[in-house]
Structure 1
Amino acid sequence: MIERAPTLTERRKAATQLDIARAAARLFTEQGAQDTTADQIATAGGVSLRTFYRYFRTKEDAVSPLLTVGADAWRAHLVGIPVGTPLRPAVEDAIRATLSEADSEGLALTRGLLRATVEDPDLADVWYRVNHSSEAALLPVLAHAAPDADALTLRLVAVAATDAIRIAFEIWAEGDEASAPVDLAARCFRQLSGG
């Protein structure tokens, strides 16, 4: 499965969106989503309000790029596995490898966002939408890695992987552990995938 490398313009756009997402996450964590405006996010992200709305429909949508970084990274781990590799161990290895590489700033921002989702249903919708999109993006990666697997198996592994990470992060966000929930995510995946 060969993916086209992003152009310079696409990389710059993605970097700007990630800067805005980090600014939004900081503000939502500090002030709460209800008390944060799109104008504040734009200013903190170093863009005009017009540019902000060119990239995002709502202030809550602004955090999507931050939430997708991890999913993109662990899918990238899976893209490189040899065709025919057993799916469950490969997915668990990718989850472990990616979460072990998570940076402390990204983890702190994610924790703050997940705590803010409890108070803001619009922010919670973004979290669930990002997870659903991650699941959909995982399917072709799994299908490439396991071309002989049936559609149901692929879907169940994608659901189990995505939900395992989602559940692990939601539980982790309730506590104060600084490191990523590597073992919890792997445990969730094993239980959800029947492994």
Structure 2
Amino acid sequence: MTGRPTLNQRRRDTTRLEIARTAAALFAERGADATTAEEIALAAGISLRTFYRYFSVKEDAVAPLLAAGGRQWVDRLADGSADLPLREALESAAAASLTPADEAGAEMMQWTRSLLRDPRLEGTWQRVHAESEVRLRAVLAERCPADTDPLEIRLAAAAATAAIRVALEQWASSDAPATGPGSPRDLGARCMRELTEGLRLWKRVA
């Protein structure tokens, strides 16, 4: 057992992502309220039954895309930042995940802006960040001494996740570009510093 996803799991993940991209494009163009699950399924080339096998409601169809940035951020923190103090590692990983790496990333960022402006998707957005917080909590716990107060870890995970959420929401409500002043990266770094500065955890974990 290697822990690697099976072929069937990879296929399911690919299908979920394709549905999510289709839903995001339609929601960005028309809004979630004016888009039906049937239209998403048709545009994705699947049956309505298949759509509901993956998502219980149409709004959740974009969750894989909204969650991708948070997952990338937590993965970066877990895999590549052991040589940095924890607070710096959080900021570095967040900045990297909030910076579009290519045209596809820039397009995804613009989709994210449209999705975050849609009130019908607020519940999905909040659930995505709650799940990201749980994943971050586990990564922080791995870096902390065994006797660290679990409440400190939970507060740190909540603050760091909130920093990303607030930065993206602030950017989405503006007309700022995806890079440079006012960008998600710019706002994310500022929010991370503001929300995590006074936490005791940074004094315990170098």
Please name the residue that 1:97 is paired with. 96
1:84–1:45 distance in 2 versus 1, CA, 3 Å:
same
Correspondence list, 1:44-59, <5 A: 44-59=43-58
Given that 1:84 and 1:146 are in contact with CA atoms closer than 8 Å, whether structure 2 keeps it comes out as no
Residues matched between the structures, number: 189
Counterpart check, 1:178 vs 2:178: yes
Counterpart check, 1:187 vs 2:190: yes
Given that 1:156 and 1:193 are in contact with CA atoms closer than 8 Å, whether structure 2 keeps it comes out as no
2:116 to 106, 114, 117: 114
Q: Which moved more, 1:29-38 or 1:178-187?
A: 178-187
1:94–1:82 distance in 2 versus 1, CA, 3 Å:
closer
Q: Deviations over 1:118-177 (max 9, x none)?
A: xx2xx2111001111110111111111223432122112211111111111111112231
Give 1:47 shift. 1.4
2:34 counterpart SS class: coil
The aligned amino acid for 1:110 is T
User: Percent identity, aligned pairs only?
Assistant: 51
Structure 1 stretches of 4+ with a deviation exceeding 6 A read: none
Please name the residue that 1:142 is paired with. 140
1:150–1:81 distance in 2 versus 1, CA, 3 Å:
farther
TM-score by length of 1: 0.89
The aligned amino acid for 1:182 is R
CA distance in 2, matches of 1:145, 1:82: 11
2:3 counterpart SS class: coil
Bigger Cα Rg: 2
Q: Which moved more, 1:55-64 or 1:13-22?
A: 13-22
The aligned amino acid for 1:52 is F
Give 1:12 shift. 1.6
1:170–1:84 distance in 2 versus 1, CA, 3 Å:
same
Please name the residue that 2:153 is paired with. 154
Given that 1:88 and 1:157 are in contact with CA atoms closer than 8 Å, whether structure 2 keeps it comes out as no
TM-score by length of 2: 0.85
Q: Which runs of 5+ in 1 are unaligned?
A: none
1:10–1:92 distance in 2 versus 1, CA, 3 Å:
same
